[in-house]
Amino acid sequence: MKQRIPIVLAVVAVVAAGLLLWRPWADEAPEGTAFRVGDEVVSVDELDARNDSLRALYGIQEPLDAKELDGFRRQAAKSMAISIVLDRAVDEEGVEVSDAEVEEAVTAFIKARFAGDRDAFLDSLGNVNTSEDAVRAEVRRQLELRKLLAEVAGDVAVGDADVRAAFAERKASLGTPERRVVSNVVVDTLAEAQRVRDQLDRGVGIAALARKVSIDAATRDKGGRLGAVARADLLPEVAEVVFRTGAGKVYGPVQGSQGWNVGIVTRIEPATTATFAAVRTRLRSTLESEAVQSRWSDWLAGRLHDADVRYERDYRPSDPYDVSAWEQSGIEGAEGGGTQ
């Protein structure tokens, strides 16, 4: 299943919005340079260190495929270049974050991702070749950027007329899709999955099986419970099987990205049509978020327009001029799991 990570702040983890200015003329850069922003030189080692910190925070992994890895590293360079431009804006605007705020955010992350076990958190940092100081620096940067975003966006108010107009335009997408209440077991091999399927067909309880054999750590201790999921919450190949299975029936085996899935559809929750009264508050919040993002994007585009960002050949992104919305990530982590 796709996971949705709660937002601590928008920006940094992936590429933000704006215009990157790449100047193709060649001037000599020090050996080991990934890119430059004005007079600031960023080495490959510095880029790798930042990627290690992000991996510790978000579980972002470098692809194994050589072609995908090349694209990943180019986009990582672009993301870091944008981050540097934003860091300069933080300094210019005098944005400050206290040590107490950083500690609160890190503690919340450890509680969510490691059940409050600080030793497990520290062990995980060693596994991804980063340090607590590096992670704290990244957390501080995110919190600073959240404050910068609030200053840039200012107060946003969406009137009732705008909410009603948006409802008329978006009604078809505002309803609740069909959901299925699912319990799921993930195992490594097709043979193991077939054995799980055979036991479920014989009436063995899925909760006991999940706790015993599932490799999905996020749902194993919950007896495999995923709760109510929409088709969009699942990987396409898994969704296809789950959503053609009736209530009370067993599905699988079906292969996902992390293993073989077998499970039970406990209940089907039919789709519902949106009403204005039901979605008004949520829709207003969505429109306000869109307005904030639009203001931020326009402001950031202006900042990046004049930035002198120059990439070395192996780190130049394929879309240095692309204007794209940032993907929002966070450090709070998420409970729950997915059909993998």
Q: What angle do CA 130, 135, 139 make, to 5 degrees?
A: 160
**Within a domain: 238:** yes
Query: What order of strands is seen across the sheet that includes strand 33-37?
Result: 40-43, 33-37, 309-311
pTM of the model: 0.58
**Alpha-carbon span 182 to 252, nearest angstrom:** 12
pLDDT digits (tens, 9 = 90+) for 267-317: 999 999 999 999 999 999 999 999 998 898 888 878 877 888 899 999 998
Radius of gyration of the chain (CA): 23
* 299 in the same domain as 192: no
Residue 188 tokens, joined: 């490594």
When pLDDT is cut at 50, 70 and 90, the band that residue 321 belongs to is low
Write down which residue in 269, 297, 323 finishes a domain.
269
Q: What is the mean pLDDT of the chain?
A: 84
Q: List, in order, residues 6 or more apart from 155 with CB less than 8 Å away.
A: none
Return the pLDDT at 27. 62
Say how many C-beta atoms besides its own lie within 10 A of residue 117's C-beta: 13
pLDDT (mean) for 104-108: 93
**Within a domain: 91:** yes
Q: What share of the chain is helix, strand, coil (3-state, %, to 5)?
A: 50, 15, 35
**Within a domain: 324:** no
Domain carrying residue 68: 33-157+278-315
pLDDT digits (tens, 9 = 90+) for 41-87: 999 999 998 888 778 777 777 888 888 999 999 999 988 988 898 89
* 88 in the same domain as 218: no
* 79 in the same domain as 40: yes
Return the pLDDT at 240. 95
**Within a domain: 74:** yes
* 287 in the same domain as 139: yes
Q: Which residues pair with 255 in a beta bridge?
A: 260
pLDDT (mean) for 132-139: 88
Element (H, E) at 309: strand 309-311
Which residue is it, tokens 């085996």? Answer: 253
Return the pLDDT at 322. 63
**2 vs 180 pLDDT, higher one:** 180
**87 vs 326 pLDDT, higher one:** 87
* 220 in the same domain as 147: no
Whether 212 contacts 220, CB under 8 Å: no
* 259 in the same domain as 183: yes
Task: Report the CATH number that the domain containing residue 150 is assigned in CATH.
Answer: 1.10.4030.10
Q: Which of 142, 136, 127, 141 is nearest to 106 (CA)?
A: 136
- The number of distinct structural domains making up the chain is 2
Q: Which of 38, 124, 34, 39 is nearest to 74 (CA)?
A: 34
**Within a domain: 265:** yes
Whether 97 contacts 144, CB under 8 Å: yes
pLDDT (mean) for 191-208: 95
Say how many C-beta atoms besides its own lie within 10 A of residue 176's C-beta: 15
When pLDDT is cut at 50, 70 and 90, the band that residue 95 belongs to is very high
**Within a domain: 7:** no
**Alpha-carbon span 141 to 168, nearest angstrom:** 40
Return the pLDDT at 324. 57
Say how many C-beta atoms besides its own lie within 10 A of residue 96's C-beta: 11
Which residue is it, tokens 């200015």? Answer: 21
Q: What is the DSSP letter of 272?
A: B
**Within a domain: 26:** no
Q: What angle do CA 5, 122, 222 make, to 5 degrees?
A: 50
Task: Report the CATH number that the domain containing residue 242 is assigned in CATH.
Answer: 3.10.50.40
**Within a domain: 311:** yes
Whether 243 contacts 237, CB under 8 Å: no
